[in-house]
Amino acid sequence: MPLAEPHPDLVSLDLLVSVGELGSISAAAAAHGITQPAASMRLRALERLLQIPLLERSTRGARLTPGGMATAGWAAAVLGEMRTLLSGTAALRADRHSHLRLAASLTVAEYLVPRWLHLLAAEAPNFTVSLQMDNTTHVGDLVARGQVDLGFIEGARPPGHLRSKGLLADELVIAVAATHPWSRRRRPIGAHELASTPLILREPGSGTRKVLTDALEARGLGVTTAMELGSTTAIKAAAMAGTAPTVVSALAVRAELRTGQLVAVSCEDLQLERTIRAIWAPGRPPAGPAARLLVIAARPEGVNSSPA
């Protein structure tokens, strides 16, 4: 969604965070390699843009106002997400001579891999990574053909022809727009109602689609498709627009559920859980950076959406 208001630049936000951490504009300016007048000018421009006082200035220096402290906290989160973005895109643009070749299903690639790569780079910075994103079926094919060193997928069961390690549990969420009638229901929906309702879904071959299909087929039911989209972002946008309900990973809709753009709907007689797994080819166990990444992905902090 485009930003409706003018937004501050990241350098100014980083400077504000540094003032809060270091205790003065001069210390923050020195840390950023700029003069104190230049730092002061940036911070005043930031105050004018946001239209709130961020600093209390006196002859003894400057300190953050309560509003400045709150803004610095939000800014730190924004800067953390930007570092995650840079880690992820660095992996995507790496060339064919990369030392670590990865493939991941779209949900894992979008919401977990950037965090893992950020942590890996902090521990072992002297290597490059390439990342291919596809659905679970195609990721398994890439691993089986030896085109990547390590894959990450989601599903209820591991692929029988590959070695795997379960990393974390993931729950699928039935999500609707705040304007959808289901958002106001006091009782859960049933599996039959879900099966008969047209849904916005990923394409066949995706781990998300398979978990839902398998759960319904176990009850003798099938899915009804309103729309098939190959992007989680597109699916969320269509659901928020009120096109139809969707079933997606809880990882993918944390922000939208928190802001109320989407509402989670429970299903009383259907379990929609799966495991996110690392997979590799038999006879080619993860080694070097791949083995280190596997350790990082299994740690609890690997699920955190913001880099430390």
Q: Any idea what the CATH number is for the domain that residue 119 is in? A: 3.40.190.10
Dihedral, CA of residue 233, residue 273, residue 209 and residue 259, to nearest 10: -20
**What is the tally of structural domains in the chain?**
3
**Residue-level pLDDT at 95:** 46
Which helix (H) or strand (E) segment is 264 a member of? strand 262-265
CATH code at position 65: 1.10.10.10
What's the domain range around 100? 90-166+278-303
Q: State whether 32 and 42 are in the same domain.
A: yes
Question: At 308, is the secondary structure helix, strand, or coil?
Answer: coil
Task: Say how many Å lie between the first and final Cα of the chain, rounded.
Answer: 26
pLDDT computed for residue 91 by the predictor: 65
Residue 25 belongs to a domain: yes
| Domain-embedded: residue 157 | yes
* Token pair recorded at residue 173: 């969420």
- Which structure tokens are listed for 266? 């429970």
Amino acid at 12: S
Does 4 fall in a domain?
no
Q: What is the pLDDT of residues 141-170, one digit of tens each?
A: 999 998 999 999 987 677 788 999 999 999
Same domain for 126 and 269, yes or no, is no
How many other β-carbons are positioned within 10 Å of the β-carbon of residue 239? Answer: 26
Query: Which DSSP letter does residue 306 get?
Result: S
Whether 151 and 103 have beta carbons less than 8 Å apart is answered as yes
Determine contact, residues 195/221, Cβ cutoff 8 Å.
Answer: yes
Distance CA 133, CA 153 (A): 10
Judgement on whether residues 144 and 236 belong to the same structural domain of the protein: no
pTM (predicted TM-score): 0.63
Low-confidence ranges of the chain (pLDDT < 50): 1, 95-98, 305-308
Assess whether 153 and 30 both reside in one domain: no
Whether residue 223 is contained in a domain is answered as: yes
Residue 2 is predicted with a pLDDT of 56
CA-CA distance, 211 to 47, in Å (whole number)? 49
Query: Does residue 109 belong to any structural domain of this protein?
Result: yes
Structure tokens, 238: 């269509």
**Same-domain pairing of 56 and 149:** no
- The answer on 206 and 196 residing in a single domain is yes
Unique residue bearing structure tokens 């398994």: 140
**Residues 6 or more apart in contact with residue 27 via CB below 8 angstroms:** 18, 19
Q: Rounded to an integer, what distance in angstroms lies between the CA atom of residue 252 and that of residue 239?
A: 13
